[in-house]
Amino acid sequence: MEPDEGELKRSITGRQLFFYTLGDVLGSGIYVLIGLVAAAVGGAFWIAFAVGVSVAAITGSAYAELVTKYPQAAGSSLYVQKAFDNKALTFLVTVSFLSASFAASGSLATGFASYFSELWSGPPALLVSLVFVALLVLVNYIGITESVVMNMAMTFVELSGLIIVMIIGVWFIAEGNADFGTLTDISVSGNPALAILAGVALSFFAMTGFENTANVAEETIDPHKAFPRSLIGGMIVAGLVYVLVSMAAALTVPTDQLAGSDVALLEVVKQGILPISNEFMTKLFTVIALIAITNTTLVTLVTQPRILYGMAREDVVPGVFATVHSSRRSPWVGLLFSGLVVGGLLVTGYAVTAAGGGIDLVNRLALVTVVFLLAIYALVIVTCLKLRGQDEDERAFRANTPLLVVGLLGNLAILYYVIQDDPKSLLWCSALLAVGVVLYLAEKLFGSSDSGSSARSHTNDREV
């Protein structure tokens, strides 16, 4: 059936959803943050990835239960509204999730510029990042089906890059050059447990992305069947790949070299271990890394306007964000707004750096993302437990309750550590939340109680 005017179109299959999840999780950090995790832990940084993906997978099971009960756009914001019926809390979750997504997009766009400079160092990094975001906004505008198909193709490419790293590790081991003691080395000073927790806090950014999948529930064919297998299965596969890639990197490249590089995974290829031209492999892997980062950033930009769309229909943000293009069926107003916010975040970050702010923009925005998402993940698990017994459907997935409790404690422990270790991240969080205050005031001043229903019944052009 054709969707009604103002509604999204169900066109995503279960297989596409699996690769959508896998591609988002795989590309969201391993290509960008592996050096920072190595710096925090030492050669045993693969442990941080293993712990992080375990906590994230448990959280993913809560999302799987909720999305099969409420297969609609807006994800965590919708679930919190269903559980607590409190628009102020729902609005806070919405803005926090958007802020996390904006920060993630900025971090990834900055990482993209770092890899791009390996191919062409001419353009300024800020310009590369801004053009990168603008092009992905355009792809998203064209339509969700095109975006998901593009995501699926790029997932195979980014997975091939990680397979190359694993092959290099196996080759290095086969030659008898590997020192397996590196894999147990926590070389940083201080408490080893705290070192691993620091690594988990950073590596958790690489685990995020699965929550974006919930925001395309309204565009998925048979979501009750597709989501549990695609979401949890994609995360498990991604976690296994992360651990193996981390081990390969630790064995083949000195930890201090990984820690000091903005393109740490490329350092594995640059070792020249494979009997192939090093120059060719370096260029090939750089292109693969660019595609991987593009893949994840595309998904974050798909998510942002759909959160706004779903919450506009619930009258939490201004109704204009529920506007859908009459032919493309894409929520273009929210998409344009998202692109502008990410662009502004990049300009601000580069300006602070240029002024001698002494920040690592990738690291800073990654930690800001983690702060927001850990708080949301903990709340989503509480929401999942609270909604037990409500809106039950025999088709819905049910997460394991004891594991959900473990996941809740894990999320809160990591959140506490991140805030205690880097309180300045809260300043950036506050700045992003200020964007939400603007939306809140706009809804209060110009919104109306029927804005959501109006958005559902009118086309984009008529509303604007």
Predicted confidence (pLDDT) per residue in 260-311, tens digit = 888 889 999 999 999 999 999 999 999 998 988 888 888 788 878 877 887 7
Mean pLDDT score, 101-119: 89
**Residue 453 has what pLDDT?**
45
Structure tokens at 419: 């805030």
Q: Return d(Cα 339, Cα 318) in angstroms, integer.
A: 18
**461 has pLDDT over 70:** no
Task: Indicate the pLDDT class of residue 328, thresholds 50, 70 and 90.
Answer: low
Task: Indicate the pLDDT class of residue 13, thresholds 50, 70 and 90.
Answer: confident
Q: Which of 73-87, 163-177, 293-307, 345-359 has the highest mean pLDDT?
A: 163-177
> 300 or 183, which is more confident?
183
Q: What share of the chain is helix, strand, coil (3-state, %, to 5)?
A: 75, 0, 25
Task: Indicate the pLDDT class of residue 364, thresholds 50, 70 and 90.
Answer: confident
Mean pLDDT score, 26-45: 83
> 325 or 423, which is more confident?
423
Task: Determine the angle formed by the axes of helices 361-386 and 425-446, rounding to 10 degrees.
Answer: 60
Domains annotated for the chain, with CATH where assigned, are 14-463 (1.20.1740.10)
**9 has pLDDT over 80:** no
Mean of the per-residue pLDDT values of the chain: 84
Q: Return d(Cα 158, Cα 265) in angstroms, integer.
A: 12
**99 has pLDDT over 50:** yes
Rounded alpha-carbon distances, angstroms, from residue 133 to 110, 114, 130, 387: 10, 15, 5, 37
**213 has pLDDT over 60:** yes
**383 has pLDDT over 90:** yes
Residue pair 217/76 in contact (Cβ under 8 Å)? The answer is no
> 210 or 138, which is more confident?
138
Structure tokens at 297: 């950033």
> Where is average pLDDT lowest: 41-50, 168-177, 313-322?
313-322
> 375 or 296, which is more confident?
375
Q: What percentage of residues in the chain have a pLDDT greater than 70?
A: 89
Residue 279, C-beta contacts closer than 8 angstroms, at least 6 positions apart:
none
**3 has pLDDT over 60:** no
Task: Indicate the pLDDT class of residue 441, thresholds 50, 70 and 90.
Answer: confident
What is the 8-class DSSP label of residue 276? Answer: S
> Where is average pLDDT lowest: 165-174, 312-321, 453-462?
453-462
**456 has pLDDT over 50:** no
**169 has pLDDT over 90:** yes
Mean pLDDT score, 82-95: 85
Q: Return d(Cα 445, Cα 318) in angstroms, integer.
A: 10
Q: Which of 455, 201, 159 is nearest to 334 (CA)?
A: 455
Query: What pLDDT, in 10s, does the model give residues 229-256?
Result: 888 888 888 889 999 999 999 999 999 9
How far out from the chain centre does Cα 228 lie? 19
> 203 or 130, which is more confident?
130
Residue pair 184/270 in contact (Cβ under 8 Å)? The answer is no
Phi first, then psi: what are they for 241, rounded to 5°? Answer: -65, -45
> Where is average pLDDT lowest: 204-208, 251-255, 333-337, 449-453?
449-453
**140 has pLDDT over 90:** no
Q: What percentage of residues in the chain have a pLDDT greater than 90?
A: 33
Task: Indicate the pLDDT class of residue 448, thresholds 50, 70 and 90.
Answer: low
> 177 or 71, which is more confident?
177
**157 has pLDDT over 50:** yes
Structure tokens at 387: 């909604």
Q: Which of 117, 20, 108 is nearest to 294 (CA)?
A: 108
